[in-house]
Amino acid sequence: MATDTIRIGLVSISDRAFTGIYEDKGVPSLQEWLGNALLTPWESTVHLIPDEQEEIESTLRDLVDFDGCHLILTTGGTGPAIRDVTPDATLAVADKIMPGFGEQMRQISLNFVPTAILSRQVAVIRKRCLIINLPGQPKAIAQTLEGLKDESGNTVVPGIFAAVPYCLDLIEAPYIETNPDIVQAFRPKSAQKPA
């Protein structure tokens, strides 16, 4: 298993943020969350792009094929609106589809809003990179990644990031470790590195 710095692509997909109508909050919240959650060294490549399927596909391909990203997190463009094409673009660049991530993201969000069923978030693998479509709102991003905790801080519904490190192991990406106070990475004992 590799132990290098993990390269993470962060892509905010929004016509209005791209044109400056409002400030993008998705990528800054992701950077803050990753800074708190990852113990492994990481670096990010950031893109703010409009809801254009060809541009999304091109950005995702470039992040994997040329920038060498191991993980890509997108925000925005996952609903049923005409301009929401992030999942379509993500599926178009995929080698494998990972449906469990989308299922769990919707499960988490359903604890807060019934409209979570309108989300089309997906996760895929392209080469040795995991690409995940996340919500656009900072609070929803954190809830999706961390999961839901009770008043004592115990996990009630696991977040999707608990499965990310082992998924990266399986596609031969760098070994990453998380801060258990934020999210506890799950790996089978046979896949854990000695402390």
Q: Is the per-residue pLDDT at 195 higher than 80?
A: no
**Strand-pair partners of 12:** 48, 75
Q: Which has more pLDDT, 190 or 115?
A: 115
Helix ranges (H only) for the chain are 15-18, 26-37, 53-65, 86-92, 99-109, 138-146, 164-170
Closest residue by Cα to residue 55 from 17, 86, 91, 80: 86
pLDDT at 127: 97
pLDDT digit string (tens) for 128-183? 999 999 998 899 999 999 998 888 888 888 999 999 999 999 999 999 999 999 99
Residue 70 has pLDDT above 60, yes or no: yes
* pLDDT score for 4: 79
Predicted structure pTM score:
0.95
- The residue-averaged pLDDT of 26-32 equals 94
Band the pLDDT of 84: cuts 50, 70, 90. Answer: very high
Question: How does residue 3 score in pLDDT terms, banded at 50, 70 and 90?
Answer: low
> Mind listing the domains of the chain with CATH numbers?
6-191 (3.40.980.10)
Q: Which two tokens stand for residue 86?
A: 């992030």
3-state secondary structure 158-185: ECHHHHHHHHHHHCCCCCCCECCCCCCC
Mean of the pLDDT values across residues 31-43?
Answer: 97
Q: How much is the pLDDT for 122?
A: 98
Beta bridge partners of 9: 45, 72
Cα–Cα distances (Å) from 156 to 17, 100, 150, in that order, read 34, 18, 6
Contact 146, 183 (CB under 8 A): yes
Beta strand pairing status for 96-97 and 123-126?
antiparallel
Among all chains, which residue has been given the structure tokens 């996760």?
123
3-state secondary structure (DSSP) of residue 61? helix
Which pLDDT value is given to residue 40? Answer: 95
